[in-house]
């Protein structure tokens, strides 16, 4: 199940999410993801996969070790990929776009530890610790450079406009 959850993100085969997670699955790390990823169940996992694949193209997870104890599993992995699309941050409670890191084309390898709770043969909970500082350095997000900051501002405007256009009532979430 753990390997399959990583494969869903790697391959974009979203159908696998329907049986990989429980109907009330929760990802405790989805606080900066789109609102759909903060919900529960397979649709939340699908939204996370789409969000990550948009930013990182074809991410890969090198699994170093998986340990299972009772209904818990822990996975030590390295996520690899290329920053091929905008990495859109939704830190606002209403899901508004708060930051956008435009693609740099740079490759990365970031260490993660993921925890899972399994119920009735499916994943019910996910949590993780990632080395986001190292990721940001590898992708050139930090230290911030003036030209990249200008690109970030323009990308954020584009994403906010895109989000407003995608809303059926054409209302814009808070900023």
Mean pLDDT along residues 95-120: 97
Tell the CATH topology of 2-166. Answer: Nuclear Transport Factor 2; Chain: A, (3.10.450)
Angle subtended by helix axes 42-56 and 2-11, to nearest 10: 50
Q: What is the pLDDT of residues 8-30, one digit of tens each?
A: 999 999 999 999 999 999 999 99
Compute the residue count for the chain: 175
Q: What's the confidence (pLDDT) of residue 164? A: 87
Q: What's the confidence (pLDDT) of residue 175? A: 44
Q: What's the confidence (pLDDT) of residue 168? A: 66
Do 100 and 141 contact (CB within 8 A), yes or no? Answer: no
Mean pLDDT, rounded, of the chain = 94
Around Cβ 174, how many Cβ atoms within 10 Å?
8
Q: What is the pLDDT of residues 118-169, one digit of tens each?
A: 999 999 999 999 999 999 999 999 998 999 999 999 999 999 999 888 866 5
Q: What's the confidence (pLDDT) of residue 169? A: 57
């Amino acid at each position: 199940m753990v390997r399959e959850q990583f494969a869903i993100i790697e391959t974009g085969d979203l159908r696998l999410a329907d049986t990989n997670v429980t109907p009330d699955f929760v990802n405790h790390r989805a606080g900066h993801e789109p609102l759909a990823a903060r919900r529960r169940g397979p649709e939340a996992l699908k939204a996370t996969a789409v969000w990550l694949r948009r930013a990182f193209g074809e991410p890969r997870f090198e699994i170093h070790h998986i340990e299972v104890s009772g209904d818990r599993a822990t996975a030590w992995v390295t996520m690899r990929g290329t920053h091929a699309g905008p990495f859109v941050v939704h830190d606002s409670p209403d899901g508004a776009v708060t930051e956008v890191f435009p693609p740099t084309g740079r490759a990365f390898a970031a260490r993660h530890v993921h925890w899972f709770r399994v119920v009735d043969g499916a994943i019910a909970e996910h949590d993780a610790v990632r080395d986001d500082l190292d990721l940001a350095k590898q992708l050139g997000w930090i230290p911030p450079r003036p030209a990249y900051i200008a690109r970030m501002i323009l990308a954020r405007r584009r994403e906010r406009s895109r989000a407003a256009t995608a809303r059926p009532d054409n209302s814009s979430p808070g900023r």
